[in-house]
A and B are shown apart, each in its own frame.
Chain A
Amino acid sequence: MQTMSANKQLQMKGIRKAFSGIPALRNVDFILHSGEVHALLGANGAGKSTLMKILSGAYSQDEGTIVIDGQQVHISSPGDAKSLGIHCVYQEVDTALVAQLSVVENVMLDRISAKGSKAWLNWGKLEKEAEETLARLGARIPVRRKAGELTLAEKQLVLIARLLTEKAKYVIFDEPTAPLSLEEAERLFRVIAQLKSEGIGIVFISHRLPEVFQICDRVTVMRDGERIVTEAAAAMTMQDVVHAMLGRVFEEEYPKLEAAIGKPLLNVSGIHLGHQVKDVSFDVKSGEIVAIVGLVGAGKTELSRLLFGADKADGGTVSVNGQAVNLASPADAFKGGLVLVPEERRKQGILVEESVKNNLSLPILSALSKLGFLSGKRETNNAEAVIGRLGVKTSSPEQKVAHLSGGNQQKVSIGKWLPTGASVYLFDEPTKGVDIGAKSDIFKIIGTLATQGKAIVYLTCEFAEAIGIADRIMVMCDGKLVKQFGRGEATQEKLMLYASGGKDETV
């Protein structure tokens, strides 16, 4: 055992971590060898980012030890981790770069700002070193350009060059390919291979299974704060990984109201926006609930915002009931019969500082006023009707929305659209942060809207919900709709497989 750990490796042993009493990591062991690419996989909330934050010094563990090359180490700050040669390339590259400074300055930033560094800088030398480091990565970036003018992929390379100048021994990549195009990702894989050949140990976090199998030597899967399996990548299939990520799946029970499905109501054709949403086309019939599922970052929220005119698409059309919808602004989309219940409820769906009544009045102010002046009576009647219909728990219509529970806030966010007569409802993660009781209420509300002949688009990363509520499920991966399932055809494992960029090989 002693001889084993004397090898060049980083070892995390018996790591435990709890947040306000709720365990996030339960006794996790993790070993990273020098010169290997080690995939760390798991569904949202499995604990992989908590584990890596402990390693990079952002959190400290409650229990457990970290051993590097046989030496026990203490990491209590990001500075500690860096001085041990542990570096992290975060997904948000812009937070780690200074846009106004040149590539040289950004590559050498740690050196320049280090304690005890020289007061006068030898730019010629720094420039040369930055150039050499970038060349080692096969990157041709003019070193005098400003970092802010680089593409996202180039910025990533600058960050990798920076950690090379710091003699990194272990590097954590947190979903590095999520914002990259295919070619850019391929280039990153070559860089990772280069780091590997220099003996650097790499943790690779990604939702895209095909690339995990392309570049990783070993795979560790986590679930619910535990390490489930660590295995050579060659010894596993994508199905094995998905199975380990999901564990035994309990198919949850959701009340599904039967609605008569009629004529096509919503038609989406060729909607696209950069790398985020790629040529999305689909139909939804009246009375039909279509779920669009995907992992975080698949482009669901972006799609919902494009369909509602909240962001401008590069191209594509939307029509409701055969009428083309103007997507210039949400007000125009609303006029065309579309409404959106946005994901960021407290920031976008409701005005938390206003009363329930004022929130429920917003989309129909004209209908509630005479000659431009609001009728208090009509406003109250409208609010009371919606509160009654949705069972919003509030002391009165005058209650501030900030004081309601998450579920009741969501009912307000949905309820404001009910009196508008809109025919297409877009729901973006409507059950996020609501309790189980409110969840089933929200499903009932959505089911009832379907029975009234509305067309429903339900965007979610909760696969079980989609299976429970939808008549049809489409899987979104990297901005594309990649697979469609009819009611009863989908399982959580199949959805996860396609959402991770895999394919069902048994069919």
Chain B
Amino acid sequence: MEKFSSFLFKYGSLIVIAIVILFFSLWDEHFFTYANLSDILRSISIVTFVAIGVTFSLTVDGFDLSVGSTVSLTTVVTAAMMVWFEQPLIVVLIVAIAIGALVGLLNALLIVRIRIPDLLATLAVMYIVAGIHKTYTKGYSIYNNMPMPDGSTAPGVFNSSFLWLGQGKIGQIPVPVILMVIAVIVVHLFFKYSKWGRQMQTTGGNEEAARLSGIRVRRIRTAAYVASGVFAAIGGVLFAARVGTGQIDAGAPMMMEAVAAVFVGYSVFGAGKPNVIGTFFGALLIGVLLNGLTMMKVQYYSNDIVKGVVLVLALAVTFIHLNKRRNG
């Protein structure tokens, strides 16, 4: 029984993913096709970036609710930079990432310096950032040739190499999928082999012991929140590139998906802690479910139920297991 439960914790989520894929493949012949599978991967690529950010904050035993709003803000800012201000691609990317870093610094200021509990601080920042993005766009999405307040047409258009980031392909593989795989591998190597990754994990594991071992835990936690903001910003850039417009509220649904992905990831291979490989599989599970359910003609507005249920189940598995280990 003991063995069975630890086996389940280790491979349970992978088995669930396999079963779900098998189920949808049998249900609909169009599901298990190259086109659809690559579509799923492309659809999860943006959420995976956001979820990587959440992985960083959870690794230092923090939390970041503001990532969804950061996606929304950076999406409209990148669009505005091109459509309204005709800035070159490199400036667009730098500004977007700088915005993500700034949101991270604000979170770190509130959590690490002023010591507001992370959930509350990032809840407030989530609203502030969402408010900024709506105020900035006056509530409108940004698109090519949109009418400006003075009656003229917007001067710029989406840069074509920018659109390639979200829509292009290398061979048969979508570019955002390639970017996602690179990010997952790099961040995995970062956590496993870099001294900074080790310091983050140590800080999250036992902050006092880390501090008394000479680690600058404030700096480390600040870095994690900045990383969280930066990865959310990359998610926002990719979203703009994928859709080709600066959609309002683009990131709103992503916070929940990203958090669910990270907690599903806790149990992948029995890690029992945030880990980026697990996060990827978590995002995959959610992507497969949403795609399959759409094929089954389940209406899109029930998606939130699916995401919520996945999060609850992932949390239940994780905490049942962790509590057992703690008591055992």
Contacts and interface: CB of A to CB of B under 8 A. Distances in A.
Interface of A: 308, 310, 329-331, 334-335, 339-340, 342, 347-351, 353-354, 358, 361-363, 365-366, 368-369, 372-374, 376, 416
A347 B206 contact: yes
A310 B212 contact: yes
B214 A331 contact: yes
Nearest to B196: A372
A310 B202 contact: no
A349 B193 contact: no
Contacts of A363: 213-214
A296 to B, nearest CB: 20
Contacts of B196: 372
Nearest to B195: A365
B198 interface: yes
B272 to A, nearest CB: 9
B55 interface: no
A351 B195 contact: no
Contact of B205 (A310, A354, A368): A354
Nearest to B211: A330
Main SS class of interface, A: mixed
Contacts of B213: 330, 362-363, 416
A391 B193 CA distance: 28
B198 A358 contact: yes
B216 A329 contact: yes
A351 B206 CA distance: 7
Given A363-B213, A369-B195, A372-B196, A348 B208 contact: yes
B202 A349 contact: no
A361 B208 contact: no
Nearest to A350: B209
Contact of A366 (B195, B205, B210, B211): B195
A349 B211 CA distance: 10
A369 B193 CA distance: 9
A379 to B, nearest CB: 10
B222 interface: no
B208 A362 contact: no
A124 B323 CA distance: 48
Interface in B169-211: 189, 193-196, 198-199, 202, 205-206, 208-211
Contact of B208 (A347, A365, A374): A347
A374 B195 contact: yes
A372 B195 contact: yes
Contacts of A349: 209, 212
B215 interface: yes
10 contacts: A310-B211, A310-B212, A330-B212, A339-B214, A348-B208, A365-B199, A366-B195, A369-B194, A373-B189, A373-B195
A358 B195 CA distance: 11
A59 B31 CA distance: 66
B209 A347 contact: yes
A42 to B, nearest CB: 32
From B206, B210, B213, name the one whose CB has the most chain A CB atoms within 10 angstroms.
B213
B214 A330 contact: yes
B178 to A, nearest CB: 23
Given A351-B202, A351-B205, A362-B202, A342 B195 contact: no
B202 A354 contact: yes
Contacts of B202: 351, 354, 358, 362
Interface string B113-130: 000000000000000000
Contacts of A368: 195
Given A347-B206, A351-B202, A358-B198, A374 B193 contact: yes
A420 to B, nearest CB: 8
A74 B171 CA distance: 85
Given A372-B195, A373-B195, 15 more contacts: A330-B212, A330-B214, A334-B214, A339-B214, A347-B206, A351-B209, A358-B198, A362-B213, A365-B195, A365-B198, A365-B199, A366-B195, A369-B194, A373-B189, A374-B198
A501 to B, nearest CB: 31
A369 B215 CA distance: 15
Nearest to A353: B205
A362 B217 CA distance: 12
B209 A348 contact: yes
Contacts of B194: 369, 372-374
List the 5 closest pairs (A to B, CB-CB), nearest first. Answer: A334-B214, A365-B195, A362-B213, A331-B216, A369-B195
Contact of B215 (A339, A362, A376): A362
Nearest to A366: B195
A257 to B, nearest CB: 27
